[in-house]
Structure 1
């Protein structure tokens, strides 16, 4: 995990606004993506402030976990520099592909103003579909010449032989695309493999 931290530090320098995205879809164990992203966050220095967490509006567990995590980092309540934002979920479990396109566009409608207002330096995400419109909004910021936002994608440790749908979508769009199994690195040559990160 220290290699990931060093790579992020060297590639993105320091003093960034960090926009974090995650949610916990019901297809994974309760809190799976949330647990993974918080483990990644635990390795990052406090210079990555303020932190903006983005969760799906139907996610009922992650907010408590985020607040608990941030409070446990040994800072006084007045020093906590994070916020939680809710956006519509891009795709529910077992939702049809055709209706997923509509719900993803709806999520993008909420992500665009959020990303344009926050203007993050980096988006760190790890798999749930809701990060697709968030990353799309971040890419649009760069296309329009407003700001280059670095996208760091860490595929879930659960993905051993194939990428998730979100991973397949973001594989060519992310600035840094991490996998946690050597098989995936061999299959996807642009992926970065540093071992288990979470």
Structure 2
């Protein structure tokens, strides 16, 4: 009887490892369309991680600069109680309206926090699962705060610099892409799919990656770092490396 339970546990763990391997492998093999028809609606999702993360993200968007005629709809993802990020996102969008005749549209969506400050590690898994589920609904277009009609159901690109909410968003995106890659449901070509992910490591990280960065390194499509000492890092052999992009903040 004990041997049967051991075999069951071993087979379950092996199956989970195989599933994780398939998810990671498939996330590295998707092709990105090289062309985009002019004036096609493009959906950009930006994760604002509150405080310094939000300030750094908006600084990078100002420096790029973000062209609203290319990214015609922007979704800003913030966490519950983060009025600072909501205010800053609205102010940034106002500046776009002043600079561009056609600034497209935007929305601000609130999701639960994955883990609150000083929250017990015993209850953190439950709040993280709740955050993950809501992020999954946002990416699938089933969240009550849906983008306007005509905006692509799935975000074409997800841009984040952490922290915990970013992990939930990226993993949710990878799960959706994995399911579509396996089933091919609703796609003419399963190898081409939206929900591309870019993680930008904080400028403050000079020699080591952040915790969220270490978690997401195997999952994101591109991992940008702002210091040469962090270039070329990878989760393990065969996975994509971090890319040195230089200073991205103003």
Q: TM-score range by the shorter chain?
A: 0.7 to 0.9
Answer with 94-103 or 156-165: which moved more. Answer: 94-103
1:130 corresponds to 2:154? no
Structure 2 length-normalised TM? 0.66
In structure 2, what is the equivalent of residue 121 of structure 1? 156
Is 1:111 paired with 2:135? yes
Q: Indicate yes or no: 2:67 matched with 1:45.
A: yes
Q: Which moved more, 1:90-99 or 1:137-146?
A: 90-99
* 112 and 192 in structure 1: CA distance in 2 versus 1, 3 angstrom threshold: same
Tell me, what secondary structure is at the counterpart of 1:151?
strand
Task: Please give the secondary structure, in 2, of the residue aligned with 1:152.
Answer: strand
Aligned match for 1:101, one of 102, 125, 130: 125
- Please give the TM-score of this superposition, normalised by the length of structure 1: 0.82
Runs of 4+ in 1 over 4 A off after TM superposition: 10-15, 75-80, 186-189
Q: Does 1:174 align with 2:220?
A: yes
Matched residue of 2:107: which SS?
A: strand
Q: Once structures 1 and 2 are overlaid, which stretch shifts more, 139-148 or 177-186? A: 139-148
Residues matched between the structures, number: 183
CA 116–187 in structure 1, closer or farther in 2 if over 3 Å, else same:
closer
CA RMSD, aligned part only? 2.3
Where does the alignment leave 5 or more consecutive residues of structure 1 unmatched? 1-9, 25-30
Give the conservation status (yes or no) of the 8 Å contact 2:232–2:243.
no
Show the counterpart of 1:149.
195
Change (3 A) 1:78 1:192: closer
Rg larger in structure:
2
1:14-62 CA deviation, whole Å, 9 max, x = no partner?
Answer: 55210111121xxxxxx31111111222212221120000001121201
Unmatched tracts of structure 2, length 5 or more: 1-31, 142-152, 186-192, 235-239
Q: Kindly tell me: are residues 195 and 78 of structure 1, through their superposed partners in 2, closer, same or farther at Cα, counting changes over 3 Å?
A: closer
**Post-superposition CA distance 1:120-158 (Å, at most 9, x none):** 111100012111111122112211216441100001111
1:185–1:191 CA contact under 8 A, matched in 2? yes
